[in-house]
Structure formats: C-alpha cells, structure tokens
C-alpha cells in the first residue's frame, strides 16, 4: 500500500477545508496517511496519535509564519521545523509529500528523491500582516519552484503561481454528496449562510435582514470579535435572524431554506482571489442555489444557480428569484454538478502523483 506524508498548518479537528477533502480522498483511494498538524509553540516533544485510520504528528516551531519579518528568523524557524520533520520522517515511510505549507522550500533537501506536490489554496500575500508581504511572496515563490507540481483553487492564484512553476494545475473543492432533489415543502422562506462568519459585508447583510421578509439563518463559528459583536447585535435586533455557532452540513435544518448566501466583502483582496468556496459544491448538492458577492473571478456557472450581486438591490432581486423559482432551478443544479464530484478531482490529483 502506498503512503503519503501530508504537511499542514491545520488541526484535524478544525472545520473541514480542502486539505481534509484531499486527505480523505487519498485514503479512499488506498493510501496510508501520515498527517502533520498545526505547529505548536510550547510542546518540545513530538506528539502522535491515530484516529480514523490516519497517523497524526505534531511538533514545535519558534514563531508564527506571519511574524517572520527577517530572513534570519525564517531560517532559524526552518532549522527547528526541519529538526522535527527529520525525526518524523525517520519513523515513517512514504512515497510522496503533499504539502500545504507555503514556506517549506526545504523539502527536497529534507527528503531527496521524493516527489513534492504543493497546494496553495489561499492568497497568502494579500493576507499578510503589515511588513510581511514581500517575505511571504518570496517564500511562496521558493516553495513553488522547489515543488514537482503545484495545485491551486482559483484563477488569479493560478496565473500568479505559473510565474514560479510551469506545472500548475487547478483543483477545485468538490461535492462530497451526490445531488439529491430537495423535498417539496410549502414554506421555504429562509436564507442560509454556512461557514466561517468572517470577511463578510455586514452593512449589506443587515439591510437585507431589515428590509426583506426572508428569514436568515447563519451557521458557523465567528473568526473575530467584531464578527461576534455583529452577530450579537443582529440576534437582539431582528426577529428574522437566527445564529447557530456550529453544525455539520449533514445536520443542517434545510426544509425551510431556499438558497445559500455568500456575502463576502469584495473590497478584501483575499476575497477577490476566490473562485469558489470550499462549501459551495456541497451546498449545491443539497439543492441550494448560491447568492454570491461580486467576485471578479467567480467560477462560471448558470446565473440561475450562482448569481453575483453588487448591491443590496441586486441581492434582493436574487433572493426573490431563488425563493420563487427554487424547484425550477433544480435541474440546472444537478446538471452543473455532474463535473464537480470526487472522481473529476481524482483524475487531476492522480495525474500530479504519477507524472
């Protein structure tokens, strides 16, 4: 059985992202998984455990990757990380590395002869803290140049990464569920937001809650105290707003939902780098059309199921359309999803592994 070493800055217990999807996909395809989790700053011993048939490791590092302002700090931190990764590598065998850490340009030296596939799933430069943009850009470039192939999830990221590595492939997230036609119910009056409550256009959201007769259900953890304060404000001000801190997609109450809203703030650079969210295909598989923010590089899809919105009035028209035509757009959703399931993505990943 083949084995893959997956390097991340994510705890397995975090809300699912594409790294979770890819890990489970590789496992289903017969790979044994060694998954290195988010680095810690206090634990100087390597932590390990097994669950879900996956072998997990965790190790220490010196300083957060967004705070390494100088080259010597990066090198010092990388020295520590390499020290721990060498120890982990001695304990496990693997056929290739699936890397989600943009600053790991040392992997070929650490594991000579092993293929490295790097996934860049965020615009880390645009998310950089003050003074870190150039440092992060250089680290992304070095890591991509070192890699045998690079995978990414958006059109603008792909164009940028092609300047560092000629072998860049698009690998969107996918629907983990086969489309099922939603049950016919009399009263579908609720708009769903599902995901991290973060980077949202709150002024638009409040106007929609205040000025329409739809109900709004927001499900997911808040990322910042400002988001938490806004949730509290909406909960106590509007009777048609409901907030649920966390629920898995399989446990969502959906019989009264007619669409999902993704009202990201388009003025945020990292938002504009997005082509499709990790949750979008799963939401579509539940029969929910998507009311999206006006993102320049949003995935091409029929407007009947994914609609861009520039203003409050646009959102109002879109929500009314989806509410009135919920069952009529189901065939469009089913047809669109036919090319966005697991096997479609496996073809891309398998090509990167075997080339």
**What was the pLDDT predicted at 67?**
54
* Least-confidence region, from 53-67, 228-242, 246-260: 53-67
* Least-confidence region, from 72-81, 177-186, 322-331: 72-81
**What was the pLDDT predicted at 305?**
97
CA dihedral sign, ordered 191, 195, 197, 202 = negative
Pairing of strands 290-293, 215-219: unpaired
Question: What percent of the chain has a predicted confidence (pLDDT) above 70?
Answer: 95
CA distance 22 to 57: 18
Question: What percent of the chain has a predicted confidence (pLDDT) above 90?
Answer: 75
The domain limits of the chain are 3-174+343-354, 190-337
**What was the pLDDT predicted at 284?**
97
**What was the pLDDT predicted at 39?**
78
Could you report the per-residue pLDDT of 20-49, keeping only the tens digit for each? 999 999 999 999 999 999 877 677 789 999
Residue 69 — very low, low, confident or very high, per pLDDT cuts 50/70/90? low
**What was the pLDDT predicted at 41?**
66
CA dihedral sign, ordered 217, 221, 223, 226 = positive
In the sheet that holds 290-293, the strands lie side by side as: 241-244, 215-219, 190-194, 257-262, 290-293, 306-309
- Tell whether the model's pLDDT for residue 278 goes beyond 90: no
Nearest of 11, 35, 9 to residue 22 by alpha carbon: 35
Q: Which CATH architecture has domain 3-174+343-354?
A: 3-Layer(aba) Sandwich (3.40)
DSSP 10: -
Q: Output the pTM of the full model.
A: 0.88
Which is higher by pLDDT, 252 or 336? 336
Q: What is the mean pLDDT of residues 158-175?
A: 96
Residue 292 — very low, low, confident or very high, per pLDDT cuts 50/70/90? very high
190-337 matches 3-174+343-354 in CATH topology: yes
* Least-confidence region, from 117-131, 223-237, 248-262, 276-290: 117-131
- Protein fold of 190-337: Rossmann fold (3.40.50)
**What was the pLDDT predicted at 251?**
87
Q: What residues contact residue 34 under an 8 Å CB cut-off, 6+ apart?
A: 3, 4, 5, 6, 54, 55, 57, 88, 92, 94
Mean pLDDT, the chain, rounded, equals 92
DSSP one-letter string for 64-113: -GGG--SHHHHHHHHHHHHHHHHHHHHH---SEEEE--TT-TTHHHHSTT
Tokens of 335: 């047809």
DSSP 7: E
């Amino acid at each position: 059985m083949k084995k893959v070493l997956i390097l991340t800055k994510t705890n397995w217990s975090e809300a699912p992202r594409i790294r979770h999807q890819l890990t489970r996909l590789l496992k289903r395809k017969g790979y044994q998984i060694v998954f290195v989790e988010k680095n810690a700053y206090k634990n100087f011993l390597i932590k390990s455990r097994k669950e879900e048939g996956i072998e997990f490791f965790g190790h220490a590092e010196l300083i957060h990757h967004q705070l390494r302002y100088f080259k010597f700090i990066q090198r010092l931190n990388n020295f520590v990380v390499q020290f721990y990764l060498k120890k982990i590598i001695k304990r496990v065998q693997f056929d290739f590395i699936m890397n989600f850490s943009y600053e790991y340009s040392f992997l070929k030296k650490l594991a000579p002869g092993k293929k490295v596939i790097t996934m860049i799933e965020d615009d880390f430069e645009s998310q950089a803290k003050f003074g870190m943009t150039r440092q992060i850009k250089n680290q992304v470039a070095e890591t991509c140049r070192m890699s045998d192939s690079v995978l990414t999830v958006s059109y603008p990221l792909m164009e940028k990464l092609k300047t560092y590595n000629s072998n860049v492939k698009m690998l969107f997230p996918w629907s983990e569920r086969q489309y099922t036609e939603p049950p016919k119910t009399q009263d579908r009056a609720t708009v769903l937001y599902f995901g991290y409550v973060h980077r949202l256009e709150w002024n638009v959201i409040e106007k929609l809650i205040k000025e329409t007769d739809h109900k709004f259900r927001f499900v997911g953890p808040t990322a910042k105290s400002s988001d938490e304060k806004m949730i509290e404000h909406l909960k106590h001000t509007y009777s048609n707003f409901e907030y649920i801190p966390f629920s898995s997609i399989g446990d969502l109450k959906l019989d009264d939902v007619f669409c999902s809203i993704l009202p990201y703030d388009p003025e945020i650079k990292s938002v504009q780098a997005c082509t499709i969210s990790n949750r979008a295909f799963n939401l579509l598989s539940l029969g929910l059309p998507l009311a999206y923010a006006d993102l320049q590089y949003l995935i091409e899809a029929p407007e009947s199921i994914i609609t861009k919105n520039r203003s409050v009035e646009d959102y109002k028209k879109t929500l009314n359309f989806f509410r009135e035509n919920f069952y009529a757009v189901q065939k469009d959703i089913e047809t669109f999803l036919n090319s966005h399931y697991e096997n479609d993505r496996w073809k891309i990943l398998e090509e990167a592994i075997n080339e």
